[in-house]
């Protein structure tokens, strides 16, 4: 994704990425190291670095101001790009794709411009708890090659209110 984002920025005349960005909690809960997610793609940072959240509540919110990229057909994951070019991927749980959208409801659309804290997806926590291996929700930086520093937080967080990590571009 990083290569394509660089091409897109070049084509649109956008200059190199500069500055720092705070990424807010897309779901309320407890921060967990990304390495603890029971999925090798996330645990080994194949898609990028970040962290996971043991979720509570019923909504996934925009973690940054930006444009919704892709919302998976099954409504369990989405990507978002900030105006500065930071690309994030939010994926609810492990095994949720097999549910074919059951337990999820889309509240935003692809291409929609959103602000931090605006609802993107809704989920039925009780239902999902019974259906999948893990509810850990990875929040991953998809364009790590553009990141100079990543400062991860710890502890309990509230969706849309608490910063989960800060990034220097």
Phi, psi of 7 (to 5 degrees): -60, -45
CB 43 within 8 A of CB 128: no
Distances (CA, A) of 65 to 76, 86, 122: 20, 10, 19
- CB atoms under 10 Å from CB of 47, counted, come to 18
Three-state DSSP class for residue 40: helix
76 is catalytic: no
Q: Which of 39, 91, 108, 119 is catalytic?
A: 91
How far apart (Å, rounded) are the C-alpha atoms in residues 35 and 50? 9
C-alpha 94/C-alpha 83 separation (Å) is 29
Q: Which residues are catalytic?
A: 91
């Amino acid at each position: 994704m990083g290569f394509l984002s660089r091409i897109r920025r070049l084509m649109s005349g956008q200059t190199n990425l500069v500055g720092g960005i705070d990424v807010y909690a897309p779901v309320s809960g407890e921060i967990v190291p990304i390495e603890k997610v029971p999925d090798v793609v996330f645990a080994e940072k194949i898609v990028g670095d970040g962290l996971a959240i043991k979720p509570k509540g019923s909504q996934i919110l925009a973690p940054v101001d930006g444009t919704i990229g892709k919302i998976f057909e099954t409504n369990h994951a989405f990507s978002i790009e900030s105006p500065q070019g930071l690309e994030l991927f939010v994926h609810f749980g492990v095994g949720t794709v097999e549910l074919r959208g059951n337990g999820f409801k889309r509240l935003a659309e692809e291409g929609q411009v959103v602000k931090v804290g605006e609802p993107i997806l809704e989920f039925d926590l009780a239902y999902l708890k019974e259906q999948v291996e893990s509810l850990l929700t990875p929040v991953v930086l998809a364009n790590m090659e553009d990141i100079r520093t990543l400062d991860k937080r710890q502890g309990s967080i509230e969706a849309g209110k608490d910063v989960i990590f800060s990034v220097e571009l």
